[in-house]
Amino acid sequence: MAKKYPRIEVDLKKITHNTKEMVRVFKELGVEIAGINKVTCGSVEVANALIEGGVKVIGESRIEALKKLKDINAEKMLVRLPMISNAAEVVKYADISLNSEIKTIRKLSEEALKIGKKHKVVLMIDVGDLREGIFDEEDALKTAGHIIELPGVELDGLGTNLSCFGGIMPSEENLEKLNRLKKRIEEKYNIKMNTVSGGNSSTTHLIQKDKLPKFVNQLRCGTLLMLGTVEVTESRMDNTFIDAFILKAEIIELKKKPSKPIGTPNVDAFGNIPEFEDKGQMTRAICAIGRQDVDLEWMKPVDSNIEILGGSSDHAIVDLTHADNKYDIGHILEFELNYVAILRGMTSPFVYKEYVK
C-alpha cells in the first residue's frame, strides 16, 4: 500500500539509545530519570522505547494518555496536577501524581482506598518559576502533615518544576528550598521520604556544570530523551540523536514566483503583518502540512539548501531556489522536528505516524 502523508517517522532505536545514554550518565550521580512521554500524545511505542532504555517510571500529563499506557511495564506518573473531578481515574491509571492542593489529595486518598490502592504523592514546591507548587514554606510543612494522616496516599517526596512559566533557571540556590523543606518535614513528623524530584530536562544544565545538588535523586525528562537537548543552555548532551522524529510532507505546488507579495499589504491569516525582502524570482513549493499539524518555527528542512518561508493552517511554503533541481510535484520533503513541532504533530489526527524499529 502506498505510504500516506504527512507522516512522522519515529525512530524508536534512537530514542532508546538516548535514554540508555542519559540513564547511564544520571545513574553515576545517583539520579533516576522519570521518562516523560507527553510530547507523543500517549504513544505506547515510544513509552516502550523509553522503558527499553532503562527508565522505571513513565510520566504523562493527561489521564487519557495514561489510559493508553495501562499495560506498559513501568510505574505511571501523572505530571500535571490532577483535576479533583477526575480523582477516581487518577488513582486507577497513575501510581504517582504531582500535587499541591490538599483538597485534591484528600479526594485521591478516598478514591485509592475504594480500590484498595496506595497512591504515591509528590508534593510540589514552587521555588520561583510560579507555575505549580506551594510557595510558602510553613504552608508546605502543614500540608505534608495532613498528607501523612491520609490512609490512601503515601508522601513519596518533594518536587519542583522550573523553566516553564517564569523562565527561571534551576540553580543550587533555588533547589536548596527542597532540601531545607525535606529536612524540616522529616524531622517534624519523624518520617523518611524517598524522592526529591528536581525538575524537568532543564535541570540537566546543573549536571553539565557539575553542580547538581546531591539531595536531588530524580529528574523528570522528556525533551532530553527525545532530542538529547538542554534547551535552557541551547546545548546538546554528547552521544545523543536529535533526529528521532522526522516529518515527511508532500509537495502539492512547485512554481517560480516573485519573493515579495504584490498589492496592498495587510494582516496575514493569523493577524500578523508579514514583511518580505525582495529577493527576485524564487522557486517556491507548497507542502501539504500546516500550522494545524506542526509549528513551522520549530522545524527545519533536512536538506539545508531549503528554507521555510512561512505558512498557514494547511500550507507550508518553502524556498527551493538554492536546492538541486531534483524536486517535483508529489515528492516528499523531510523536516527535523523540535519539541513544539513534535507535540503538535503527534497530537494532530491528520499526521500519520510510523514507528521504525
Ligand X SMILES: *Cc1c(COP(=O)(O)O)cnc(C)c1O
Give the H/E segment covering residue 319. strand 316-319
Long-range contacts, stretch 170-173, CB < 8 angstroms, 24+ apart: 170/198, 170/199, 170/202, 170/203, 170/205, 170/206, 170/232, 171/206, 172/206, 172/211, 172/213
With CB atoms as reference, the residue minimizing the distance to ligand X is: 222
Query: Which CB sits closer to ligand X, 33 or 285?
Result: 33
Query: Which CB sits closer to ligand X, 311 or 345?
Result: 345
**Encoded amino acid at 74, one letter:** A
Min dist. Cβ of residue 125 to ligand X (A): 12
Tell me the three cell numbers of residue 44. Answer: 505506547
Q: What is the DSSP letter of 81?
A: P
Query: Which CB sits closer to ligand X, 46 or 289?
Result: 46
Q: Which candidate, 23, 90, 77, places its Cα nearest to that of 51?
A: 23
Positions in the binding site for ligand X (CB under 6 A): 36, 38, 61, 79, 98, 161, 200-202, 220-224
Cβ neighbours of residue 50 closer than 8 Å, sequence gap 6 or more? 15, 16, 19, 35, 37, 58, 225
CA distances for 67 relative to 59, 79, 137, 144, 342, angstroms: 12, 14, 35, 29, 21
Min dist. Cβ of residue 102 to ligand X (A): 19
Min dist. Cβ of residue 227 to ligand X (A): 9
Tell me the three cell numbers of residue 116. Answer: 484498595
Give the H/E segment covering residue 278. none
Q: Which residue has the cell 500578523?
A: 272
Query: Which CB sits closer to ligand X, 186 or 297?
Result: 297
Catalytic residue among 13, 14, 38, 103: 38
13 is catalytic: no
Min dist. Cβ of residue 132 to ligand X (A): 7
Min dist. Cβ of residue 281 to ligand X (A): 42
Distance CA 44, CA 68 (A): 7
Min dist. Cβ of residue 161 to ligand X (A): 5
Min dist. Cβ of residue 68 to ligand X (A): 17
β-bridge mates for residue 59, sequence order: 36, 77
- Is there a contact between 135 and 126 (Cβ–Cβ < 8 Å)? yes
Query: Which CB sits closer to ligand X, 37 or 48?
Result: 37
Q: Which residue has the cell 522536528?
A: 337
Query: Which CB sits closer to ligand X, 57 or 306?
Result: 57
Distance CA 149, CA 110 (A): 12
Distance CA 99, CA 123 (A): 5
Query: Which CB sits closer to ligand X, 79 or 282?
Result: 79
β-bridge mates for residue 96, sequence order: 77, 120
Q: Which residue has the cell 524517598?
A: 194
**Encoded amino acid at 84, one letter:** I
Active site residues: 38
